[in-house]
Amino acid sequence: MKKLIYLLRPRQPMERPVRRTTLLERCAPALLDSGVRYLTMNIDDDFARVPSPPPSTKLTDPFVAEVCVWLDHMDNRGTAESILLDAGFDIAGYRVTEHLYTDYGGNRHSSPRDWPDGQRSPGIISVTPLERPKRIPKDEWMRHWFNRQGPMSEAMQPRSRYVRNVVLDVLTPGAFPYEGIVEESWPSAEHMTDSMTFYGARNRFELVKNMAIMMQSVAAFLPIWKITSVTTSEYFIRSPQR
């Protein structure tokens, strides 16, 4: 079973409700009919109007959706890619290995998932591609991500689900060679927009301390000025967990 991730950008301006209906009502059924085994979609739609926690710059060109497909054979990916392209999106494709750090119900911030496939998940999802600075060897970079950043942020922040996708191959021409793609689930918009809540602080002293810890860790393995994080709605169309 191969997991592929596609980051989508519309070729022409596309309003948030149109993105949602295009992907859920047009692309999703076609992808399943094409032989995709499992399918999830994280869409920057009209239900996810929440600013991204990392600061964005005018230099960033944010994607508007992350489409995750699971295939039995890589030979079938051409059909899946054609469906997304024909719907008006440019795509950046990656073959990844998924590492599910925390699932719904795995900590005190959420209960186990009890909603069906096809229904929007509660809360907000942030999707963040990770770039490795050339100055950092890959093995050192991976150790920091998995052994430092992941456990530290899990202990500090009110995340309800945390998925780390390690990029194995870049699949589409022109796609940026990211090393990883992170999916983080937050119980509500307030959990992302309230600084005290987002950094797990009980007072101003803890807020400053936790922000410094987070900034130091992130700066140790990512180019902070280039981070692009997109807030989305999560849709399990046909989930592996089911």
CATH of the domain at 224: 3.30.70
- Model confidence pLDDT, tens digit, residues 40-89: 999 999 999 888 776 554 455 689 999 999 999 998 899 999 999 999 99
Q: Specify the 3-state DSSP secondary structure of 42.
A: strand
Torsion sign, CA atoms 217, 221, 225, 227 = negative
Domain region containing 100? 2-238
Q: How many residues does the chain have?
A: 242
Residue 3 zone, left/alpha/beta (φ > 0; ψ -120 to 50; rest): beta
Q: What is the pTM of this model?
A: 0.95
Q: How many CB atoms lie within 10 A of CB 139?
A: 7
pLDDT at 62: 84
pLDDT at 58: 44
Residues forming beta bridges with residue 94, ordered by sequence position: 5, 170
Residue type, 27: C
pLDDT at 238 over 60: yes
Number of domains in the chain: 1
pLDDT at 55: 56
pLDDT at 61: 63
What is the spatial distance between Cα 146 and Cα 164, in angstroms, rounded to a whole number?
Answer: 9
pLDDT at 14: 94
